[in-house]
């Protein structure tokens, strides 16, 4: 069953057309990855979904409801969490404050506590560092914090933009393992990655985006063994 459907979406930055009519579907419970080189339009796709940039034509349907061009905070209420490229945690706030920002819409203290416990189950290090300022954490810890903050929202759809960027291979492994676990727990994942091999490895399905257009799509294994994909992204 489709959770998210992107239909013929075109997005511009001023006169620059970043998305040229893309179609992407994400079904409930899937891990779907969007791979492609620098500037292909991956981040713009996520931003178009979460409402950070305006869609010019086409539409985006989430859970049967059109969400194109809604304000970003309204989409978070619907259960869409977006972990942006470069993490964007609040560097001057503590780990705890960063996490609580993720639950800004939740008033019920018991739910906040439950969500914090869940975040600590996935990221035990965050529990040890609650009073540390976010900006003083390592890249891997900041990625964990950004993901933890997104989890505080209680998302049904978690969109991750380049979670592996700039991280040591061992940390990347951990992050991908956690993405799989979150998915097994029922969270649908839309994963943007330049690390195509690892992304396709854990994904149910993938899309290759090139110059604002979807060039290829298929299940993760098909795409890993596809010649064009191997030459362009797995070399």
Stretch that binds ligand ATP, among 35-43, 68-76, 119-127, 147-155 (CB under 6 A): 35-43
**Distance from C-alpha of 218 to C-alpha of 160, rounded to nearest angstrom:** 20
Residue among 43 and 226 whose Cβ is closer to ligand ATP: 43
110 is an interface residue for ligand ATP by CB under 6 A: no
Stretch that binds ligand ATP, among 11-19, 92-100, 109-117, 227-235 (CB under 6 A): 11-19
Residues numbered 59 to 98 that lie near ligand ATP (CB under 6 A) are 85
Half-sphere exposure of 8 (CA within 13 A, CB side): 2
Binder to ligand ATP among 2, 8, 28, 39 (CB under 6 A)?
Answer: 39
* Closest to 161 in 3D by CA, of 29, 5, 53: 53
**Distance from C-alpha of 224 to C-alpha of 234, rounded to nearest angstrom:** 8
220 is an interface residue for ligand ATP by CB under 6 A: no
Q: Are 20 and 66 in contact (CB under 8 A)?
A: no
Q: Which residues contact 79 (CB under 8 A, 6 or more apart)?
A: 63, 153, 154, 155, 156, 157
Binder to ligand ATP among 3, 4, 6, 18 (CB under 6 A)?
Answer: 18
38 is an interface residue for ligand ATP by CB under 6 A: yes
Residues that bind ligand ATP (CB under 6 A): 13, 16, 18, 36, 38-44, 85
């Amino acid at each position: 069953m489709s959770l998210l459907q992107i239909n013929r979406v075109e997005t511009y930055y001023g006169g620059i057309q970043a998305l040229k009519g893309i179609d992407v579907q994400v079904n409930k419970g899937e891990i779907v990855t969007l791979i492609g080189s620098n500037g292909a339009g991956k981040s713009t796709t996520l931003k178009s979904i979460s409402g950070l940039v305006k869609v010019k034509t086409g539409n985006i349907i989430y859970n049967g409801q059109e969400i194109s061009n809604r304000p970003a905070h309204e989409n978070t209420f619907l259960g869409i969490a977006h972990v942006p490229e470069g993490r964007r945690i609040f560097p001057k706030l503590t780990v705890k404050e960063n996490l609580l920002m993720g639950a800004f819409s939740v008033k019920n203290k018991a739910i906040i506590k439950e969500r914090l416990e869940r975040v600590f189950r996935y990221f035990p290090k965050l529990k040890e560092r609650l009073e540390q300022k976010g900006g003083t954490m390592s890249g891997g810890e900041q990625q964990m914090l950004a993901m933890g903050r997104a989890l505080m929202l209680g998302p049904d759809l978690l969109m991750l933009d380049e979670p592996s960027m700039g991280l040591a291979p061992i940390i990347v492994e951990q992050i991908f393992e956690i993405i799989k676990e979150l998915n097994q727990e029922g969270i649908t994942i839309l994963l943007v990655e330049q690390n195509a091999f690892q992304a396709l490895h854990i994904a149910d399905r993938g899309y290759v985006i090139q110059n604002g257009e979807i060039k290829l799509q298929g299940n993760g294994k098909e795409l890993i063994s596809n010649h064009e994909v191997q030459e362009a992204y797995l070399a």
